[in-house]
Homo-oligomer: A and B are copies of this chain.
Amino acid sequence: LLVFASSAQGADALPSWNEGRAKQSIVSFVERVTAQGSADFVPVPERIAVFDNDGTLWAEQPMYFQLLFALHRVKVLAPQHPEWASQEPFASLLKGDLKGALSGGGTAIMQIVMATHSGMTTEEFEQIVRDWTASAKHPKTGQLYTKMVYQPMLEVLAYLRANGFKTYIVSGGGIDFMRVFSEEVYGIPPEQVIGSSGKTKFEMRDGTPLLMRLAEVNFIDDKAGKPVGIHQHIGRRPIAAFGNSDGDLQMLQWTCRPPGPRFCLFVRHTDGDREWAYDRASSIGRLDKGLDEAGIMNWTVVDMKTDWRKVFAFEP
């Protein structure tokens, strides 16, 4: 009996999901598009699935992890920038007044990102991110940020790939930031990461070709930018999309446009004990219009609290 139970669990590709409509909708979709001869069969090259990152594959509280990286870099770089002592948003930040620093909203955040994500080669930046992800710890859990990933979503990624899907990240986060850990953490290679980016410039330095990161926006992969980024990188429409906020709404609309079998899912953050609870009123990861549309379109909405047996892999 024990052997049988263990074997039955081994056959379950989504062991961290509780039985229920959300899990059932995923399995049913995959079985339909992979069943040879079925009307809903989709050839392997068209099995494209796209995943938002922040709040969908890993956590995003108390704020986006890449912003925490940028704040850390401001402190590291401050000695080389004496002018920051009297220049916002850096001045507030260096005085420890995070709220004041971010009161400038999107402009302040962009200034912080540009000051910390440009002025070096692509390879230097990669190393800086690699060092940070290998050492920085989440303020609440004490875990490395790359451990703050959702075990149930790792299972979905692996399950889809085992069924011939190509899995992509499509995130408002920085494309080169995520590429540093996407292969190791998610099994997603750098060429399947789509994200926001700054411009880069090819240069020969002492006979060595380099790409310099410039302080200029190239592309913002958020909201209506997500379908644009998908088209630019993939060139065909995905058949499955996973997100957690209104920033993913257009990606889900684009993916789930009829006809044909299509699957769209929102992760809803409902578990204030094991994770964080937030949706319609949150400034980070607001899920409001998306929740309405999910109801109308009959998309899957994951209730983290009831649908996920386990949230993070590091949980006992």
Contacts and interface: CB of A to CB of B under 8 A. Distances in A.
By size class, the interface of chain A is 35 or more
A200 B233 CA distance: 13
A209 B250 contact: yes
Interface string A144-176: 000000000000000000000010000000011
A113 interface: no
A83 interface: no
A234 interface: yes
Given A202-B227, A209-B250, A197 B236 contact: no
A227 B202 CA distance: 7
Contact of A227 (B48, B183, B191, B209): B209
A235 B202 contact: no
A117 interface: no
A202 B193 CA distance: 20
Given A202-B224, A224-B202, A231 B209 contact: no
A224 to B, nearest CB: 4
A190 B236 contact: yes
A189 interface: yes
A125 to B, nearest CB: 11
A48 B167 CA distance: 19
17 contacts: A45-B183, A48-B191, A190-B235, A190-B236, A191-B233, A191-B235, A197-B232, A200-B232, A201-B224, A201-B228, A202-B227, A204-B253, A209-B227, A209-B257, A211-B228, A211-B231, A211-B254
